[in-house]
Amino acid sequence: SYSSNLIKNVVEYINTNYKEPLTLSYISKKFYVNSSYLSREFSKKMNISLLKYIKKVKIYNLSRELLLHGNLESLWRQYGFRSYNTYLRDFKNIMHMSPKNFINQNPINQVNKKIGQHELYKCLQQILHLIKSE
């Protein structure tokens, strides 16, 4: 259906362009669709609001970079957050800890900074599993 294809395309767009300052307004214009309709259909099909989905995708990808590179002060800017406080709030809401605690508590950082993508992916999956089971 139209709405299923729309949501699939929006998800792909977000997953590819997560470093952009994505908003409901921006995405609805990009896909030539009413923002209320997009918001409603996205929530219905994905069981999460569009804005929450955007935040989660940004934070999950940003957390991967944090594990690889440590706490880069300007990293939040590269992900399109309007301010450091917004980034910090969203990170804490999604990961249930500050970026600094996330880095310090992660065993990968103590083992080896130059890990492979596969190990990193496994580690992030474990972290996400822990977060979901809370």
Residues 81 and 31: their CA atoms lie apart, in Å, by 22
DSSP state of 12: H
Mean pLDDT of 52-76: 86
Tens digit of pLDDT for each residue in 95-107?
999 998 888 887 6
Q: Is the pLDDT of residue 114 over 50?
A: no
Q: 9 vs 30, 55, 77, 120, CA distance in Å?
A: 11, 17, 25, 27
* Residue 25 vs residue 129, higher pLDDT: 25
**109 band by pLDDT with thresholds 50, 70 and 90:** low
Q: Which of 34-38, 39-43, 84-88, 98-102 has the lowest mean pLDDT?
A: 98-102
Instruction: Give the number of domains in the chain.
Output: 1
User: What is the sign, positive or negative, of the torsion defined by CA atoms of 103, 105, 110, 111?
Assistant: negative
CATH number of the domain that 7 lies in? 1.10.10.60
54, 14 Cβ separation under 8 angstroms: yes
pLDDT greater than 80 at residue 126: no
From residue 87, give the alpha-carbon distance in Å to each of 22, 55, 124. 14, 9, 19
| Buried/exposed code over 44-66 (b: 16+ C-beta within 10 A; e: otherwise) | ebeeeebeebbbbbbbbebbeeb
Question: What value does the mean pLDDT take over residues 62-82?
Answer: 84
Q: What pLDDT does residue 67 have?
A: 83
pLDDT band at 111 (very low <50, low <70, confident <90, very high): very low
Of 114 and 123, the structure prediction assigns the larger pLDDT to 123
Domain range enclosing 18: 2-132
